[in-house]
Amino acid sequence: MAYPSPYRAGMSSLGFQWITSLVADAGFGAERVYLPDDVEAWRKLRLPPLSMESHTPLGNFPLVAVSVAYELELAGLVELLRLAGIPPLRRDRTPGHPKLLLGGPLTFSNPLPLAPFADAILYGEADDTVVPAVEGFFETGTLDHVALLPGGWIPAMGDVRVPVARADDTHLPARSRIWTKDMELSDMFLLEGERGCHRACTFCVMRRSTNGGMRLVTPERLFELVPEAAPRVGLVGAAISDHPQLVPLLQELVDRGKGVGISSLRADRVALKPEIPRLLRLAGYQTLTVASDAASQRLRREMSKGTTEAHLVACAEAAREHKYRTLKVYMMLGVPGETDEDVDELIAFTRQLAAIHSVAIGLAPFVPKLNTPLVNASFAGIRVVEGRLERLRAGLKGSRAEIRPTSPRWAWVEARLAAGGVAEGEAVLRAVEAGGSFAAWRRALDAVDAVEAG
Ligand code: SF4
């Protein structure tokens, strides 16, 4: 069971931990392998990635299953395989090499760039499909039977798009087995309070049309599963703050003396249920994090994002009242229809928030994703996003607002892969082989365009 990012990130992925424990509980010797922190150092030393459990080199396993979270982790997948001495492309592997089973959150949007690497892919929720996939492999020596599983695809059999699998609700909730100080969320027992989302934001893969929307787990079931010895509990779910019993759930955890983390908070819930920020602060939560997603009220409305300025002001007031370190607001730049006027509205509004409490704006360029209503929208372009970032920086000078942007260049790469196919997958290998700089990615992806145009 391999994760194409370093250990700290992998240990914070509840999905990866959960799927690994399902395979282990079915009686297989499941061992975990992570991408080394310093890939370059491992390459120089010619060290293969080793399993956590028995220190076995990755290339010695007969079956390697990898969970890929998002597009840029494809580079980690290629690095992991190269370090292990496994040819990344399926066509370059021989029967003596491990078989590669891929899955993970990326399969909810566009798994096609995974195709040149995979022997088989499991789309969507793998709770019910991963064990039959592994079992079948040890019975037959191939992964061909995966084509018969819900969400199963064998790329060598052709470009077939299959619907994502939906796990039976009796499997819920996913939960972690171990908690460790090395996790991004340290000392935390991760527990899935709900799965999916009932909202309809037009840019989001997790919107309600995916796998039937929100599936709730009762507080009684959740309490049953929390280990007495766990110092902190991380509640996970795309829309966990919409859980109708979140307040009593938090209250009970606080009463039991547990620290609590939460994977996402909706600003309207924080505004309408002031007990949520109060209890989270009591449980040790230090940064109140919500999403506003678009620069202006007009854009939020157009994207069906239910957050209003009044909700965000209420969040800033709650952050001040309960002495949170900061209010963090996630935001996208370059969404369809955005203009400089929208950015000016963002500047004025952020100044208003910062006058209430210190605020950090986490900014990511908008990337259109498959399986969303905005699939046909365009990436705004590196220059446009950089220009808007500059405008924002200048407008917020001297305020208590801090901007934490992610790179528009890497968002361009992500957008290319999000809309790409097999050729873009192969371009990942060329980009990594050429050193993995942005220039290397640009050359590799431009070469795909040249071939398509020619
Ligand atoms: S952005 Fe959040 S609230 Fe909107 S559909 Fe996605 S998970 Fe739900």
Please give the distance, rounded to the nearest whole angstrom, from the Cα atom of residue 368 to the centre of ligand 1.
14
CB distance 374 to ligand 1 below 6 Å: no
- Contacts of range 316-321, beta carbons closer than 8 Å, 24 or more positions apart: 316/353, 316/356, 316/357, 316/359, 317/356, 317/357, 318/270, 318/271, 318/274, 318/277, 318/278, 318/288, 319/277, 319/288, 319/356, 319/357, 320/356, 320/357, 321/277
**Pocket perturbation via mutation, ligand 1, pick of 198, 202, 207, 215 by most ligand atoms within 8 A of CB:** 207
pLDDT score recorded for residue 185? 53
For the Cβ of 199 lying below 6 angstroms from any atom of ligand 1, the answer is yes
Q: What is the mean pLDDT of residues 405-431?
A: 97
Q: Whose CA is nearest to atom 5 of ligand 1?
A: 207
The closest residue, in CA terms, to atom 4 on ligand 1 is: 201
445 pLDDT more than 80: yes
Query: Rounded to an integer, what distance in angstroms lies between the CA atom of residue 221 and that of residue 243?
Result: 14
Q: How far does the centroid of ligand 1 lie from the alpha carbon of residue 393, in Å? A: 27
Neighbours of 454 (CB within 10 A): 5
Task: Answer whether 332's CB lies under 8 Å from 305's CB.
Answer: no
Domains and CATH numbers, the chain: 2-157 (3.40.50), 169-407 (3.20.20.70), 421-453 (no CATH)
CA of 398 to the centre of ligand 1 (A): 32
Which residue among 109, 194, 198, 201 has the greatest number of ligand 1 atoms within 8 angstroms of its CB, and so is best to mutate?
201
Is any ligand 1 atom within 6 A of the Cβ of residue 238?
yes
First to last CA, the chain: 40
Rounded to whole angstroms, how far apart are CA atoms 352 and 224? 44
Which of 108, 109, 199, when mutated, tests ligand 1's pocket best, judged by the most ligand atoms within 8 Å of its CB?
A: 199
Kindly state the average pLDDT of the residues 112-134. Answer: 97
| Whether 2 contacts 34, CB under 8 Å | yes
Residue 19, amino acid: I
Whole-number Å distance, alpha carbon 307 to ligand 1 midpoint, is: 11
Token pair in block for residue 416 = 């290319």
Cα(325) to centroid(ligand 1), Å: 25
| Triad 216, 219, 224: Cα angle to 5° | 120
Q: How far apart are the C-alpha atoms of 278 and 285, rounded to whole Å?
A: 10
Q: How far is the CA of 161 from the centre of ligand 1 (A)?
A: 24
Range name among 98-102, 159-163, 246-250, 319-323 with the lowest pLDDT average:
159-163
Whether the ω angle into residue 113 lies within 30 degrees of 0, i.e. cis, is: no
**pLDDT, tens digit, 9 for 90 and up, residues 155-173:** 998 877 789 999 998 888 9
- Rounded CA-CA distance 347/433 in Å is 41
- Taking 60 as the threshold, does the pLDDT of residue 184 lie above it? no
Ligand 1 centroid–CA 239 distance in Å is 7
| pLDDT score of 212 | 82
**212 vs 22, higher pLDDT:** 22
Q: What is the pLDDT of residues 276-285, one digit of tens each?
A: 999 999 999 9
- Ligand 1 pocket member 239 (CB < 6 A): yes
Mean pLDDT value across residues 418-436:
97
- pLDDT score, position 177: 78
The H-assigned helical ranges of 103-184 are 130-140
Q: Is the CB of 207 under 6 A from ligand 1?
A: yes
Taking residues 23-38, what's their average pLDDT? 96
Tell me what percent of the chain is helix, strand and coil, each rounded to the nearest 5.
45, 15, 40
Is the pLDDT score of 340 beyond 70? yes
242 CA closest ligand 1 atom index: 3
- The DSSP H or E segment spanning 351 is helix 340-356
pLDDT of amino acid 33? 97
Q: Answer whether 309's CB lies under 8 Å from 297's CB.
A: yes
Whether ligand 1 lies within 6 angstroms of the CB of 401 is answered as no
Distance from the alpha carbon of residue 371 to the mean position of ligand 1, in angstroms: 14
For residue 451, the model assigns a pLDDT of: 77
Mean pLDDT of 376-400: 96
- Kindly state if the Cβ of 428 falls inside 6 Å of ligand 1: no
**Tens of pLDDT along 124-146?**
999 999 999 999 999 999 999 99
User: Is 197 close to ligand 1, i.e. is its CB under 6 Å away?
Assistant: yes
Beta strands in 248-397 (DSSP E): 259-262, 287-293, 326-333, 359-365
Task: Write out pLDDT tens, residues 212-268.
Answer: 889 999 999 999 999 888 899 999 999 999 999 999 999 999 999 999 999 889 999
pTM above 0.85, yes or no: yes
Contact 3, 104 (CB under 8 A): no
Helix axes 275-282, 309-321, angle to 10 degrees: 40
Only one residue has tokens 């798009």, namely 161
Quick one: average pLDDT of 62-70? 98
Atom of ligand 1 nearest to the CA of 207: 5
Which tokens hold the place of 229? 């010895």
Q: Contact at 8 Å (CB) between 132 and 148?
A: no
Ligand 1 centroid–CA 209 distance in Å is: 11
Taking every pair of Cα atoms in the chain, the longest distance, rounded to a whole number of angstroms, is 66
Nearest CA among 360, 448, 449 for reference residue 402: 360
pLDDT, one tens digit per residue, over 275-308 is 999 999 999 999 999 999 999 999 999 999 989 9
Ligand 1 pocket, mutate which of 204, 208, 371, 374 (most atoms under 8 A from CB):
204
* H helix or E strand, kind and range, residue 2: strand 2-3
Structure token digits, residue 1: 């069971």
Percent of residues, the chain, with pLDDT higher than 70:
97
C-alpha to C-alpha distance for 342 and 208, rounded to whole angstroms: 27
Name the β-bridge partners of 34.
3
* Residue-averaged pLDDT of the chain: 94
Ligand 1 atom index nearest CA of 205: 6
